[in-house]
Amino acid sequence: MKNLCHLTAYEIREGYKNRAFSVTDIAKAVVAQVEKLSPKIKAFLYFDADEILNRARDLESQAQRFEHNPMFGIPIAVKDNISIRGIPTTCGSRILEGYKPVYDASVISSLKNQGALIIGKTNMDEFAMGSSTENSAFGPTLNPWDLERVPGGSSGGSAAAVASRMVPTALGSDTGGSIRQPAAFTGILGLKCTYGLVSRYGLIAYASSLDQIGPMGRSVEDLAMCLEAISFREKRDSTSLDDPLGTKYLDNFKTNVKGLKIGVPKEFFNEGINPDMRESVYQVLKDLEALGAIVEEFSLRYISCSLPSYYIIAPAEASSNLARYDAIRYGLRVPGENIIQQYENTRGAGFGAEVKRRILLGTFVLSAGYYDAYYLKAMKVRRLIKNELTEAFRKYDFLVTPTTPTTAFKIGEKTQNPLEMYLSDICTIGVNLAGIPAISIPCGKIDDLPAGVQFMGPQFSERRLLSLSKAYLDATGHHQIIPSLLKEN
Amino acid sequence: MEFELVVGMEIHAQLRTKTKLFCGCLNRFGDAPNANTCEVCLGHPGVLPVLNTAVVEKIIKAGLALNCSIDPLSQFARKNYFYPDLPKGYQISQFELPICSGGFLEVTDADKKLKKIRLRRIHIEEDAGKLMHEGIKDGSLVDFNRAGTPLMEIVTEPDFRSVEEVYDFLTQLRQIFRYLDVCDGNMEEGSLRCEPNISIRPKNSPELGVKVELKNINSFKAARKGIEFEFARQSKILNEGEKISQETRGWDENKNESFLMRTKEEAHDYRYFPDPDLPPLRVDDEWIEKVRRTMEELPRNKKERICREFKISDNDCDVICSEKAVAEFYEQTAKACGDGKQAANWVMGDVLRVLKTGGAINTFPITPSRLSGLIKLVADGKLSSSMGRQVFETMLTSSEDASTIMLSRGLGIVSDSTAIMKTIDEVISEFPEQVQQFLSGKDKIMAFLIGQAMRKMKGKADPTVMNRLMKERIETLRGKT
């Protein structure tokens, strides 16, 4: 029998139906794989084998209750910025050391209700600020494709866990590319949903108007299954939306690509993009053309302003969102002579350099006298970017771009140069500003490192993005790539 | 130099709603510290606010009552600052786009003329928790029961020119809020807080002076004293040729003086920006109309109507309508007894007198229908007014109605002429001197004689019969002397 760890969520579901194995069998396989690879990869911040095995037994005893839930018994890892009641949740930050949420995030309640097998909390850049997990206060996660390289970030722990077959699926969050970029770096699939499709209740906020939880996995079906379980309109999140096309994402994929219009924005193929990466994506376009799509190059006027406007809006929101870590009610407390000193001591010791940098940036751009020149202008640019993308989707069904300018970079390569690090999200940020969905899927390898292609669609086009991805991956098989680290075993 | 006072007001009113502004916790005071809290109002990581629409409806009501325009689209903004009683490190408020703008309230100015005080805006915001210092060594504790409860902030234009105008404005505002059940208006308990912005300028000068914001005002009296103090302080500074600096000052109620809290340079930069967790608040005409239809009668309207319907004086009506519940009590009484004037006398006199010693009108032991029964007995001459008072006192502790008490205590009026005549004869024989004085032309003595007879009959004699018989009896004596 195939090593159970290599099964996709969809295959596990089929296996349960055929009684090929039990939830406990799967749980044991997960525990074994994590215990074997975790010392090398460091994907998890919290992992409790007993808890997982107990939960698996509980689920088995209640199997009938969950009969019709696709996520029943499916292992899913959770990024450490998503709250699970009673489980340490740090956001990769010292400031939340010792904090245990008193409530479940909406997505967690839903997964629990559907009988999913939640597997620990995955490492991330502190407060989701970063592109490599090197900003985690608890040390970086390593890329299973090359242990000297980063897995991307901020959802690097989730990506590495999925890529190294510790779990079939994981939840990540994406504010400027934090699902898609690590998915690309580790050779898996990651979906950033339409803003509002997945409730943010319980997602520890970085930049509220950009943050979205989304699924990561190794097959289109797995992403669809997971999305089905976590997307619903919810009262507790006032920005959550109903998908006008319903709540079903799994099955009924329309994989006929013939006649689909694909727009290729030139700005994503300029000199900032590694030539090999460009070639990889051009190959994707050729493959899609071969499947019958109509590919056309065009130009976006404002998209190049995505990165600068993002680095005003996101820090502005973050500076306010992170004000609550004040040592009064939970988390780290470093006492001082008076309340101001206690704030300074706690926040000085609790936050890492990148978080401090963004709090300072955000505080500055919101300050009296600077607000109009920075924050307000950035919001106007954001509107222009949103408008031009909406306009583009009148003409094209999808836009296709690289997910990242390069493949995974080396640990330490960009830590001394924040701007260089910021540029690794250059292809993904516009999507968050516009609130539209995008998916990153594997499109082959460059020097034995995975490359990712990004498909963008208009608001609520998740079904069509999944269908296009399925058509492409069925034709090319790129999602089946496996890191050599795993083959050795 | 003679100066003119210029005041603008910022008023915070705690809204009376069942639950808090952005979570389901009870909006209630007096519970154990932190009893009414949850992860949302405690600002735990990952929580999101959900707007309580009951708050919006209360503010629409207040806005309509104060002639504001209710804006179809308003926006929530974050006001960022650090303080231990502020769980999120920011307060959700409204900044650029408040829910109500414009509006006015008419006050009586120094010349007894009506004057419009213009409102700039009304907006929604959340309150903070409370720090507790007393009896705690090494630090303070925080009670978050108040954190996240709804507040309404009203900002006026600098239209006040005297403390009397301010006082009238606050009185009316509180009355309106109580009538609409928007806020209980208790300044001492902090449910209504005001911060006057005070400046002065030479009389007839068109330009505004430098303003000083005054905080810690805990009563109407403090508002008056604080403004008067500032007027004097600022006048002195200008008269000495110095300049007023823009600053925030606090009012010290014990010392009766203001003190410097912070200068303009020390003012916070709150870094307001639209709250990304809350979509713009949309209020359409339909919603406004729905609120308008279910809105309680405003004090001014109620007063006019009661004046007209029950034909009582303006002054009486002012007293009766100062509290909505009293006005309602009066109306029910007046309707039931059919005599507005008498009902007014009883409510303003006896009912309010008893209430002054404690208790609320809603739980007043004598219901309007019982009181109206008493009023009718007096009006029909079955009970003298002094006997009526005795019955009233009994009714305070008894659940019986007025006529039952009257009968069981034998308090009814005696109009039987034989009994009255008998008493008159007694009086005449007891006070022969006074009778002689009357007969010799001292008319006023009649009242004394009637008083004596009344006293003998414990006030129960029908006064008309008594008057008539006494006169007749004495006249019969005139011929005999």
pLDDT in tens, B177-228: 999 999 999 888 889 999 999 999 999 899 999 999 999 998 999 999 999 9
Does position B481 have pLDDT exceeding 80, yes or no? no
Q: What single-letter amino acid sits at B409?
A: R
pLDDT level of residue B435 (50, 70, 90 thresholds): confident
Which of B183, B146, B153 has the alpha carbon at shortest distance from B41?
B146
Residue B85's pLDDT band (boundaries 50, 70, 90)? very high
Residue of A79, A192, A414, A470 marked active site: A79
Residue A178 is among the residues annotated as catalytic for this protein: yes
Contacts of B82 in chain A (CB under 8 A): 323, 326, 343
User: Which of A116-130, A169-183, A313-327, B131-145 has the lowest average pLDDT?
Assistant: B131-145
Q: How far is CA A478 from CA A103, A438, B363, in A?
A: 39, 18, 79
Q: Under the phi-then-psi rule, with left for phi > 0, alpha for psi from -120 to 50, and beta for the rest, what region is A366?
A: alpha
Per the prediction, chain B carries an average pLDDT of 92
* Model confidence at B268: pLDDT above 90: no
Residues in chain B: 481
User: In angstroms, what separates the C-alpha of B132 from chain A's closest C-alpha?
Assistant: 14
* pLDDT, position B479: 64
**C-alpha span between B198 and B225 (Å, rounded):** 12
Please state, in angstroms and rounded to a whole number, the distance separating the CA atoms of residues B148 and B127: 5
pLDDT at residue number A2: 67
Rounded distance between C-alpha atoms, residue B319 and residue B348, angstroms: 7
- From residue B251, alpha-carbon distances to A24, A476, B49, B214 in Å are 69, 77, 34, 7
For the cut 90, the answer to whether the pLDDT of residue A352 exceeds it is yes
Question: DSSP secondary-structure letter at A408?
Answer: P
Extract the tokens encoding B434.
């006074």
Interface test with chain A among B34, B50, B273, B275, by most A beta carbons within 10 Å: B273
Residue spans per domain, chain A: 4-255+459-487
- Determine contact, residues A368/B269, Cβ cutoff 8 Å: yes
pLDDT tens, position by position, A386-397: 999 999 999 999
Using CA atoms, how far apart are residues B379 and A399, in angstroms rounded to an integer? 90
Torsion of CA B251, B255, B257, B262, to 10 degrees: -50
Mutate to test the interface with A, among B25, B40, B48, B141 (most CBs of A within 10 A): B48
In the set A83, A154, A231, A467, the catalytic residue is: A154
- Closest Cα in chain B, distance from residue A82 (Å): 8
Residue B466 pLDDT greater than 90, yes or no: no
Decide if pLDDT at B415 tops 90: no
Answer for the pair A174, A180: CB distance below 8 angstroms, yes or no.
yes
Cβ proximity of A14 and A170 under 8 Å:
no
Which residues on chain A are in Cβ contact (under 8 Å) with B273? 316-317, 320, 366, 371, 375
Q: What is the pLDDT of residue A488?
A: 60
pLDDT (tens digit per residue) in A224-264:
999 999 999 899 999 999 999 988 999 889 999 999 999 99
CB contact under 8 A, A96 and B271: no
User: What residue has token string 């968050």?
Assistant: A432
Residue A449 is classified by DSSP as E
What is the share, in percent, of chain A residues with pLDDT greater than 90? 93
Element (H, E) at A111: helix A106-113
Is the CB of residue B273 less than 8 Å away from at least one CB of chain A? Answer: yes
Cβ-based contacts of B272 with chain A (< 8 Å): 366
Dist CA B275 CA B34 (whole Å): 26
Res A96: pLDDT: 97
Which residue reads 């110095």 in tokens? B242
- In this complex, the residue of A239, A325, A330 whose CB is nearest that of residue B277 is A239
B276 vs A: CB within 8 A: yes
* CB count in 10 Å sphere of residue A350: 23
| B144 neighbors B34 (Cβ within 8 angstroms) | yes
Q: Is B282 on the interface with A (CB under 8 A)?
A: no
Identify whether the C-beta of residue A404 lies closer than 8 Å to the C-beta of residue A184: yes
**SS3 of residue A442 by DSSP:** strand
pLDDT of residue B265: 82
Taking the CA of residue B282 and the nearest CA in chain A, the distance in Å comes to 13
* Residues of chain A with C-beta less than 8 angstroms from the C-beta of B277: 205, 208, 238-239
Distance of CA B360 to the CA centre of its chain: 13
Class of domain A4-255+459-487: alpha beta
Give B136 to chain A, closest Cα distance, Å.
Answer: 15
Span B272-326, pLDDT tens digits: 999 999 999 999 999 999 999 999 999 999 999 999 999 999 899 999 998 899 9
Cβ pair A329:B42 closer than 8 A: yes
CB contact under 8 A, A326 and B279: no
In Å, how far are A83, A198, A223, B361 from A106, measured between CA atoms? 9, 9, 18, 48
Q: What pLDDT score does A30 carry? A: 97
State in Å, rounded, how far the first CA of chain B is from the last one.
80
Which CA distances in Å does B209 have to A231, B152, B231?
57, 28, 12
Q: CA–CA separation, A192 vs A439, rounded Å?
A: 6
Q: Tell me whether 0.85 is exceeded by the ipTM.
A: yes
B417-478, which class in CATH?
mainly alpha
Residue-level pLDDT at A72 = 96
B139 and A CB contact within 8 Å: no
Whether B411 has a pLDDT exceeding 80, the answer reads no
Give the tokens for residue A242.
Answer: 């109903």
Inter-residue contact A346 to A333 (CB < 8 Å)? yes
Q: Is A323 on the interface with B (CB under 8 A)?
A: yes
Half-sphere exposure of B136 (CA within 13 A, CB side): 9
Our CA-based measurement puts residue A71 at a distance from the nearest CA of chain B, in whole angstroms, of: 24
Is A273 a residue whose pLDDT tops 90? Answer: yes
A79 part of the active site = yes
Q: Is A154 a catalytic residue?
A: yes
How far is the first Cα of chain A from the last one, in angstroms, to the nearest whole number?
15
For residue range A91-107, list pLDDT tens digits in order: 999 999 899 999 999 99
In B, residues 64-123, which contact A (CB 8 Å cutoff)? 78, 80, 82, 84, 87-90
In this prediction, residue B480 carries a pLDDT of 62
Return the pLDDT at A383: 98
Which of A87, A324, A371 is the best residue to mutate to test the B interface, defined by the most B CB atoms within 10 Å of its own CB?
A: A324
Q: Which residues in chain A are contacts of B24 at CB distance < 8 A? A: none
> Other CB atoms closer than 10 Å to residue B362's CB: what's the count?
9
Q: Which residues pair with A305 in a beta bridge?
A: none
- Give the residue from A199, A210, A242, A329 with the most B CB atoms within 10 Å of its CB, the best one to mutate: A329
Distance CA B343, CA B370 (A): 12
B197 phi, psi to nearest 5 deg: -105, 115
Closest in B48, B88, B271 to A237, CB measured: B48
Would you state the pLDDT for residue B434? 87
